[in-house]
Amino acid sequence: MTAAGRRPVEAPATRPEPQRIGSGLSFRARLTLGLIAGSVLPLAGFGLVLLATEITRTGEADSTLIRVVLFVLAAAVIVAVLFAVRLANSLTSPLRAVSKAVERTSSGDLSARVFVAGDDELARLVESHNRLANDLERRNAELGRILLAIGETSPRDGLDRLVAQATRSARAAFGMIDTRIELGDPAMVPVEEDIPGESRPIRAVLALPDERLGVLVGHLPATRTWDPADQDLLELYASEVAVAIRNLELYEQVQRQAEQLMELDQAKDEFLRGISHNLQTPLTSIRGYAEQMGTEREDQRLSIIVEQTDRLYRIVRQLVSVSRLESGTLKSATEVLALAPRVRRAWDALGAAAVPFDLADDAEGWLAIADPDQLDQVLWALLDNSARYAGGAAIHARVAPRPEERRLAVTIADDGPGVKPEDRDRIFDRYERGAAGAGVEGTGLGLYVSRSLCRAMGGDLILEPAGTLGSGAAFSVLLPGEPPEQG
């Protein structure tokens, strides 16, 4: 691994075949056979020499001597087998302990340790396992501290605080003497030479797939080992720091865009407030002159001018209401009044004589507590909304009390296509319109303003389930009410 950063990516090499040690027999079997052979073969050789000497001296083999030699060999084989099995068990028991410790380590128990006396190959094997377990335990602790450090960073902290936090976390996680993060081109930060006996320099590049943001450098104690796995962990941490810096840049960019959008929204609200207030005076003049000219001579065009001026005036009033709602200056001057006459008056003012309309007054003496001007605006908006969206279908209005809520309700419904389920929640938002009104002219403010006005009067505006009065959409204006005995 180069000191300047990550190891170069190499082409994948063919994995070598596993090295085969010994014959096809197990280590225990080979050890047992070796011990038996080491015990029996010298005795068998001595017996053969004894028989050969006897044959040379007497010229023939003594049968008694042969039986004695064979008996001794058989006894030696039995003793050797028993001795070899016990000795093999004694010799392989440390290996079994090492195997169990390795299994516990591989399963995640890094506390497994084995101790064997001596300085032979078995002792070195045990020492290697213990050192591996210690390294794994240390790296797991480092990884845990890295994950904790990553969770502590936040884009809201700012770049300086994020870099300072990342520097402290790296020093604590890897046990460094000192640490610093240099932002910019990593090539501009010189690579320190590793001098034996002095603190060990380490570094890792803050790398993203498409960019290098800087480098993390520091020093370790001279006695601290630093393996490739440690460098991999450091580079993993450096890459997470780079991701955190990039997230911070994106967060700041989104914040700037959000601030710009808020400024644009405020500018739009200021424009609406200004244009709506400035339109009221000329509209009033146009309507007044058109009515005056209409009294002097009959002209259908003058009636259309008056009608459209009234419509435009009501739209301007919606814009004025929006500006007052946004600024918090909207006030309600409530009075006690009957709802049915105001519904009829709002329908007549709408001028939609070609649309079938019926009104059911079931108030039973109940009166509403509302602002007359704001109530007229709400009723006109709902009736106009039904007339435009219902496509000429019949409109039904009903005034009825809700004694359990001490409210008086006026429900305006139509036989049009209704409101789709996915539009029911959003049609009361600003500039939102249902899918059924895609081809209908409008500002998208009527329902938003109407609900806000109703709530300002202590009531509410709700969308009733389909089929409440007609077969289409049904809206209910709920206002505080007084029963007959208190009217």
State whether 405 and 454 are in the same domain: yes
Decide if 456 contacts 374 (C-beta within 8 A).
yes
**Both 121 and 160 in a single domain?**
no
Task: Kindly state whether residues 372 and 475 are assigned to the same domain.
Answer: yes
Residue 433 has pLDDT above 70, yes or no: no
Q: pLDDT tens digits for 362-380? A: 998 999 999 988 899 899 8
Show the tokens assigned to 376. 């007229």
Domain boundary among 229, 255, 281: 255
**Is the pLDDT confidence value at 141 over 80?**
no
Give residue-wise pLDDT tens across range 321-363.
776 676 666 777 889 999 999 999 999 888 788 899 999 999 9
Q: In angstroms, what CA-CA distances link 6 with 186, 193, 199, 298?
A: 12, 17, 21, 90
How many whole angstroms separate alpha carbon 42 and alpha carbon 61?
A: 21
Both structure tokens of 333: 């001057």
The total domain count for the chain is 4
pLDDT given at position 138:
67
Query: Which of the listed residues 282, 301, 326 is the one where a domain comes to its end?
Result: 326
Question: What's the pLDDT at 460?
Answer: 93
The whole-model pTM stands at: 0.45
Distance of CA 281 to the CA centre of its chain: 53
Instruction: Provide mean pLDDT across the span 290-314.
Output: 76
Any domain includes 57: yes
CB–CB of 380/314 below 8 Å?
yes
CATH number of the domain that 232 lies in? 3.30.450.40
Domain shared by 226 and 114, yes or no: no
Final residue before a domain boundary, out of 128, 145, 171:
128
376 shares a domain with 440 = yes
Which of the residue ranges 68-77, 189-198, 383-392 would you say has the lowest mean pLDDT? 68-77
* Residue 6 domain flag: no
Helix (H, G, I), strand (E, B) or coil at 420: coil
Asked if 396 and 306 sit in the same domain, the reply is no
Contact 459, 407 (CB under 8 A): yes
- % helix, strand, coil for the chain, step of 5: 55, 15, 30
Per mean pLDDT, which range of 16-20, 196-200, 280-284, 402-406 is the poorest? 16-20
Higher pLDDT, 388 or 325: 388
Same domain, 251 and 262: no
Residue 235 shares a structural domain with residue 322: no
Of 368, 342, 344, 378, nearest in space to 358 by CA: 344
Question: Do 434 and 365 fall into the same domain?
Answer: yes
Domain that holds residue 440: 331-486
